[in-house]
Structures are given as C-alpha cells and as structure tokens.
Amino acid sequence: MAMNKPLAALVALTLGLSFALPAAWADEAYDRCIKQANATTITYSTCGSDWLKREDGKLNAAWKRVFAQAQGQTRTDLLDAQRAWIAYKEKACGFYANGDWGTDGRAIQYPICQAAVIAARTHDLEAIGKFLAPQ
C-alpha cells in the first residue's frame, strides 16, 4: 500500500527528529513530572511548558556567550542566522498543536518536538562558541 504524502512527511519528520530526541528526552525533570502527572491535559501541558522553559534558558545562556564572542560580519551573520532559526522553530512543530492530533499532539508531542529543536540549536551554538573562542 502506498503512503499518502502527508503521512510520508510525518514519518520522515518523526524519523529525522528521532535522532535529536535522545538528548532532549534526557530531561529528568520532565520524565519525573510526566510519571507523576495525574494523566490530565493540564498536567501534561505544565510538564511540557516547564521543560521548554528549561531548554529556552539553556539556549539563551548559550546565545549570550556566543554572541558576546562574535565580532564584525560574523556578529551580523550570527544574528541573521538566529533570526532565521527562530522563524524555523516557530513552525517546525506546529502541526502537532494544530488540533489534528488532539490532546496527545498538543500536550505531549509538541513539547517533545520543540525541546528537540531547541536542544539541537543550543548544541549548535555551543559548537560555534568553541570555534569563536580565543585559542
């Protein structure tokens, strides 16, 4: 049976994110929260929201370190790249939260996807920071 295009795209995205998820999924506080959650959308959403705040904190700290190291055209290019990444981040996981996937999509899959996207960018920024660091 042939896979329809939306399903094929979902499978491809899921497989692609599966390589990024192990690092993001390692958030022990999220794992504890989900295990303790009383299986309501509100508690799952709270667990995910808290996780995203932690990932954003790591990202923002990495960004500040790296951006402070950058000079000249590199600084301009880095800012342009970050703005483009923010636009990407805002769209990358939106399909989970569009209502088609119900509560599971909005409360569980969306934060997992977002955390993976943010963690990957944090990792990239840390690598850039090592490159820019004085020798």
Instruction: Kindly report, residue by residue over 39-77, the tens digit of the pLDDT.
Output: 788 889 999 999 999 999 999 999 999 999 999 999 999
pLDDT score at 37: 75
Taking the C-alpha atoms of residue 116 and residue 121, their distance in angstroms, rounded to an integer, is 9
pLDDT score at 129: 96
pLDDT score at 36: 86
What's the average model confidence in pLDDT over 79-105? 94
What's the average model confidence in pLDDT over 4-8? 43
Which of the four pLDDT bands, split at 50, 70 and 90, describes residue 25?
low
pLDDT score of 104 more than 60: yes
Domain boundaries, the chain: 73-135
Least confidently predicted of 5-9, 22-26, 62-66, 85-89: 5-9
113 versus 4: which is more confidently predicted? 113
Instruction: Give me the percent of the chain exceeding a pLDDT of 70.
Output: 81
Question: Comparing C-alpha atoms, which of 88, 21, 104 is closest to residue 55?
Answer: 21
- Report angle CA 32, 111, 58 to the nearest 5 degrees: 80
Coil, strand or helix at 103:
helix
What's the average model confidence in pLDDT over 107-111? 92
